[in-house]
Structure 1
Amino acid sequence: MKLFRRQSSAAALTVALGLVLSAATPHGAATATRTAQGVGWTAAWAASPQLPSTGFTPNWSQEGFSHQTVRQVVRVTEGGDLARIRLSNTYGTSPLTITGATVARTEKGAAVRKETVRGLTFAGRRTAVVPAHGELRSDAARLRLRRLGSVTVTLYLAGTTGPATYHAQGFTDTYRAAGDHRADGPGAAFTDRTRSWYYLSGVDVGGGGKAVRDRGVVLFGDSITDGYGSTPGADRRYPDDLAELTRRPVLNAGIGGNLLLNDSAWYGERATARFGRDALGRPGVSTVAVLQGVNDIGFSETGDQPTYKPAPVVSAGEVIAGYRQLIHQAHARGLRIIGSTLLPLKGSDHWGAHAAKASDAINHWIRTSGEFDGYADFDRALADPADADRIGSGYDSGDHLHPNDAGYRVMAATLAELM
């Protein structure tokens, strides 16, 4: 297939001036600071914010936090000498006070390597206020992180937050403790856990002024991109696999249940609305790959599932019109955008006469229109040889809709050919 390369305009996003470098102990000790000029930042991990909701598994989003410490472990897909975090209060209706925050290299579980704990500052202050419906980045902390290494971000919330902006399906453990444990090395105080992320929406790495080439990839989509069906705690989502295969920074901008064209109380803002925030505004990104639309055509086939409502019947033409909006947004930012065919879904709760016809029409358009800058044919890569409408049994997580670890690895290998 023919691919077209466009120059990225993300250079303006990757130059940070006047940042504070913090190498201090977390709180109560002197802070050594200097101004960081010309730091080249690369987004190394991301999660897409969601409205507080019941979600797929038990979580703390609706109750929020009060005089508690939250410890979150993520795997970065790029290394560097500096780190900063991005916090989201997108769905908060009042300002969010972060009493204190630290970043450290992960030991195991909720434990961190004590000697690596760094106190984070925000515009030079240890306490931060994230405005209602807003976001905030920390200053730079001097912490060497290796590519595909785990980093732990700890937030101490002394006040009462109210419902928390979060990401429902983390597929890795997040920990909670009563009181202030932001500086703890051991994880013994963190006795509660869920598999969601709270307020944390990004980790960036920097090299202290070294040149950075925009080469990051954002994978944008729904639960298949999010990693549903992969082994929890094993980093076996298809974005994880792509990072390993390509050695490029890869960001996961999936939301389970997300729709291309309609907002959902459970599954996030529609993709056409969140695309700029979750995909296009990350530093160091040159390429976005989109896998979206199966929920739009499949929710109307599912019967009485309440979280799928309202579920209008969406045509292939309407989905294609949504793709064109994403293509326009990406090209306006100078980014390359890759389309992905919808996976086989026969036998799943999304399957029916309408979904079957619409998925065929959508996939035909992706393959033949030339409007994306290239496409990954996941449909053919994962199809059962005996029935092309079904996902192959060796790739099926069990619900005939989401791949297992092996299926995600095939998806990553398919997309890697276009990198």
Structure 2
Amino acid sequence: MFTTAWTASPQLPSEGFTPNWSREGFWRQSVRQNVRLTAGGGRVRVRLSNAYGTSPLRVAGAAVGRTAAGAAVEPGSSRRLTFGGAAGAEVPARGQLVSDPAPLALAAGDTLSVTLYFEAATGPATFHAQAFTTSHRGAGDLLDDATGDGFDAVTESWYVLSAVETDAGRTDGIALFGDSLTDGFGSTPGADRRWPDALARRTGRPVLNAGIGGNLLLNDSAWYGEKGVRRLARDVLAHPGVDTLVVLLGLNDIGFSETGEQPTYKPAPVVEAAELIDGHLELIRQARRAGLRVIGATLLPFAGSDHWGEHAAKVSHELDEWIRCSGEYDAVVDLNRVLADPEDPDRLHPAYDFGDHLHPDDAGYAVMAEAVAAVL
């Protein structure tokens, strides 16, 4: 039985937060991506996404191996992947493809390098904008380049790769569904200090990070992914081995309308708490139909940020009170109170503030993981 050991939610090719290669795509190039696994096993397979491709995506070859450092792979650990027994494959337009399993001994916490070679031009590539870790690109077929010397370009995004699965046989996976707070903005890049990472270390359970920076519960965004009520099925429910869902979503729906300075926030309709409650109820319904236990998290304090204003304060207070008191969730974790400044409960505690009064730092993310672990 295969268990999802790592995920990255697919996004439409866009400029993203930092420079990336999604719009230009790849041609006669290899991409090596390093991902930290939350479940081990003796066999591994990868899931490739062409969710936003308008034509089939040709993958000429793929390989996996244990990461040494940077773009280097541990000697002797590289394994070629196959797809239905073939070295290459086409990922259907708007679709996905799962590789055949490859034998490779892995433990929870190991970092896996996944290398994809694109010989034909891909066109714009489905990607995940904010990886907070380095991906590598080089010219030609570098599937067997263990040293990593052929990789001469880097970004902090993931491309085409949407999941890694191992034969751990675990069915106790935890999916964390949210926005940049779950994606890991504010954590130290390359250090695996997002709160999903901290939760995996604390619990020893498989943890799926289904966060997208800027994501909205109720509305699609060209920059920040499909709305939460639509993408849950693909980004959580379709993955094997999950039995618990934690929802932390809605802050951007509330806050985008409070500022006119960021063009990627547009359109930003003014929403009311009742609309967000309906969205949360829809997530609960979908998850329950799939047999998942569903935990609701209150929104983090965000006074002083560019998302804050009179309306945002009103709606966030109303939504948080519903999450706490409605009884709709199987359990509740009150992140708002855990991370609040005792001197001003609408603000993040200064010890946990990354600096924008919206996102925690590494210490804040560790506190979030501890609070969630207590209600699992």
Aligned to 2:339: 382
- Normalised to the residue count of structure 1, the TM-score between the two structures is 0.89
Runs of 4+ in 1 over 4 A off after TM superposition: none
SS in 1 for 2:371: helix
Aligned with 1:187 (options 148, 171, 179):
148
How many equivalent residue pairs?
Answer: 376
SS in 2 for 1:70: strand
Tell me the distance in 2 between the aligned counterparts of 1:252 and 1:302: 28
Aligned to 2:199: 242
Aligned to 2:77: 116
Contact 2:64 2:81 in 1 (8 A): yes
1:199 equivalenced with 2:156 (yes/no): no
What is the 5 A alignment of 1:211-222?
A: 212-222=169-179
Query: How many angstroms does 1:114 deviate by?
Result: 2.7
1:140 equivalenced with 2:101 (yes/no): yes
Amino acid corresponding to residue 364 of structure 1 in structure 2:
E
Aligned to 1:326: 283
Contact 1:100 1:155 in 2 (8 A): yes
Aligned with 1:72 (options 6, 10, 33):
33
Tell me the distance in 1 between the aligned counterparts of 2:362 and 2:195: 8
1:398 equivalenced with 2:355 (yes/no): yes
Amino acid corresponding to residue 94 of structure 1 in structure 2:
S
Aligned with 2:303 (options 329, 335, 346):
346
SS in 1 for 2:97: strand
Contact 2:14 2:22 in 1 (8 A): yes
Amino acid corresponding to residue 165 of structure 2 in structure 1:
D
Query: How many angstroms does 1:418 deviate by?
Result: 1.3
Aligned with 2:215 (options 238, 250, 258):
258
Tell me the distance in 2 between the aligned counterparts of 1:249 and 1:164: 28
State the Cα deviation string for residues 157-210 of structure 1 (Å, max 9, x = none): 001000000000000000000011011110111110000000000000005xxx
SS in 2 for 1:170: coil
SS in 2 for 1:62: coil
SS in 1 for 2:66: strand
Query: How many angstroms does 1:213 deviate by?
Result: 4.2
Tell me the distance in 2 between the aligned counterparts of 1:159 and 1:281: 29
State the Cα deviation string for residues 125-171 of structure 1 (Å, max 9, x = none): 01110000000000000001111110000000001000000000000
Aligned to 2:294: 337
Query: How many angstroms does 1:93 deviate by?
Result: 0.6
- Bigger Rg, structure 1 or 2: 1
Tell me the distance in 2 between the aligned counterparts of 1:225 and 1:344: 15
Query: How many angstroms does 1:281 deviate by?
Result: 1.3
Amino acid corresponding to residue 403 of structure 1 in structure 2:
P
Aligned with 1:170 (options 118, 124, 131):
131
1:82 equivalenced with 2:43 (yes/no): yes
State the Cα deviation string for residues 338-366 of structure 1 (Å, max 9, x = none): 10000000000000000000000000000
State the Cα deviation string for residues 86-132 of structure 1 (Å, max 9, x = none): 00000001100000000000000000013011000001101110000
SS in 1 for 2:337: helix
SS in 1 for 2:65: strand
1:298 equivalenced with 2:255 (yes/no): yes
Aligned to 2:61: 100
Computed over aligned residues only, the root mean square deviation of the Cα atoms, in angstroms, reads: 0.6
- Normalised to the residue count of structure 2, the TM-score between the two structures is 0.99
1:233 equivalenced with 2:190 (yes/no): yes
SS in 1 for 2:246: strand
Query: How many angstroms does 1:214 deviate by?
Result: 1.2
Q: Structure 1: any 5+ residue segments left out of the alignment?
A: 1-39
Identity %: 61
Contact 1:102 1:120 in 2 (8 A): yes
Contact 2:298 2:323 in 1 (8 A): yes
Contact 2:2 2:170 in 1 (8 A): no
Aligned with 1:55 (options 16, 20, 36):
16
Query: How many angstroms does 1:303 deviate by?
Result: 1.6
Amino acid corresponding to residue 399 of structure 1 in structure 2:
D
Tell me the distance in 1 between the aligned counterparts of 2:277 and 2:143: 47
Contact 2:83 2:100 in 1 (8 A): yes
Contact 2:71 2:151 in 1 (8 A): yes
